[in-house]
Structure 1
Amino acid sequence: MFNLIRRDVILQKRHLLIFIPFILFFIIMDKQPTLTFLVASIFIPFNTYAYDEKVETNILLNSLPYTRMEIIASRYIGAIVYMILSIGVTSLALFIFNKPFTMTDIAIAIILFLLFVSFTFPLFYIFKPGYITMVILISFILLAAIGPTIVLFLAEHLTAITDFITNLSIPTVYTGATLIIVVVYVISWGVTAFIYQRKSF
């Protein structure tokens, strides 16, 4: 399974040359650190899916000595590995450019990334290849643009929930959010594995 994760890095070596300038653009444009961390985390996993969608790599993967469960596991574990590496590189770049960021920025980016992965990875195996990558990227851009507005709107109108959350301690909020994200991620992993097991290539 490690070789499957390594394969993604090898396939992405040309795109990795774009990765640093891509992140530097967000930093120089003085974008919110949370958004910069999120975009950096998404870069490699979704480029891999976009590449596989074009060349129908799943036919090749299923001819290799790996089970379908291992193939899906490499996707979900790989996403976490790439996220950690991307956050490390982005943190270093922000530090070099003397741009302030906090652990809260990183924590929110991780939560958003894992949620985005949880909801989008199954879609690559539900819909036919060709358009799904573009649909997901457009959806991501729209969510990044209007997401904060939606959150503020809900916070203003769902005051009971807002009051409940604000009365909780910070450790409780982080622990609760972590548990929810882990559960959602594991469910997504299971759903994707279930779909992939029954898919014909």
Structure 2
Amino acid sequence: MFHLIKRDVILQKKQLLIFIPFILFFIFMDVHPVLTFLVASVFIPFNTYAYDEKAETNILLNSLPYTRNEIIASRYLGAVFYMVIAMGLTSAAFFSFGKLFSITDIALSSGLFLLFAACTFPLFYILKPGYITTVVLIGFILLSAMGPPVVFYLAEQFSGITDFIMNLSIPIIYTGSTVLIMLLYLLSWGLSTAIYQRKVF
């Protein structure tokens, strides 16, 4: 399974050359650190899915000595692995140029990435090839642009729930959010595995 994760880097050698300039652009434009970390995390996993969609790699993968469970596991574990690497490189870039960020920025962007991945990864096994990358890209843009206003609107409409959450301690909020996101990620993993097991290539 490690070789499947390593394959993503080998296939994306050229795209990875764009990664650092891409992130530096966000830093120089003073984009909020949360969005910068989020974009950095999305870069490799979703490029891999986009590449596989065009090349119909699933046919090749299923001819190799890997089970379908291992193929899906490599996607989900690989996404977490590359997220950690992306966070590290982005943090180093922030430090190098004297830009401020906090551990909270990293925590929020990690949570948003895992939540976005949990919602979109199964789509790559549900939707027909040729449409998936477009749907995911539009979804990411909508999440980035409309997410905060929607959250603020819901917070105003459901003030009782908002007040309850605001009265909780910070550790409880972070722990609860972490557990919820991890559960959603695991549920997404299970859903993708179930769908992939039934697909015919």
Match of residue 119 from structure 1: 119
Shift of 1:140: 0.5
Match of residue 87 from structure 1: 87
Rounded Cα–Cα distance in structure 1 between residues aligned with 2:66 and 2:156: 50
Superimposed CA distance per residue, residues 19-64 of structure 1 (whole angstroms, 9 cap, x where no aligned partner): 0011001000000000000000000000000000000000000000
Shift of 1:154: 1.1
Match of residue 52 from structure 2: 52
Q: What is the RMSD of the two structures over their aligned residues, measured on CA atoms?
A: 0.6
Match of residue 149 from structure 2: 149
Matched residue type, 2:94: L
Rounded Cα–Cα distance in structure 1 between residues aligned with 2:101 and 2:151: 21
Match of residue 198 from structure 1: 198
Match of residue 72 from structure 2: 72
Q: Which stretches of structure 1, 4 residues or longer, exceed 3 Å deviation after superposition?
A: none
Rounded Cα–Cα distance in structure 2 between residues aligned with 1:38 and 1:86: 9
Aligned pair count reads: 201
Rounded Cα–Cα distance in structure 2 between residues aligned with 1:147 and 1:176: 20
Matched residue type, 2:140: F
Rounded Cα–Cα distance in structure 1 between residues aligned with 2:159 and 2:12: 45
Matched residue type, 2:169: S
Shift of 1:146: 1.3
Unaligned runs of 5+ in 2: none
Match of residue 8 from structure 2: 8
Shift of 1:143: 1.4
Rounded Cα–Cα distance in structure 2 between residues aligned with 1:181 and 1:107: 12
Match of residue 38 from structure 1: 38
Superimposed CA distance per residue, residues 153-182 of structure 1 (whole angstroms, 9 cap, x where no aligned partner): 111121011101110001000110011011
Shift of 1:110: 0.6
Shift of 1:18: 0.4
Unaligned runs of 5+ in 1: none
Rounded Cα–Cα distance in structure 1 between residues aligned with 2:142 and 2:29: 19
- Give the percent of matched residue pairs that are identical in Structure 1 and Structure 2: 69
Specify the SS of the correspondent of 1:90.
helix
Rounded Cα–Cα distance in structure 2 between residues aligned with 1:134 and 1:10: 24
Rounded Cα–Cα distance in structure 2 between residues aligned with 1:95 and 1:47: 26
* 1:22 partnered with 2:22: yes
Rounded Cα–Cα distance in structure 1 between residues aligned with 2:96 and 2:199: 46
Shift of 1:138: 1.3
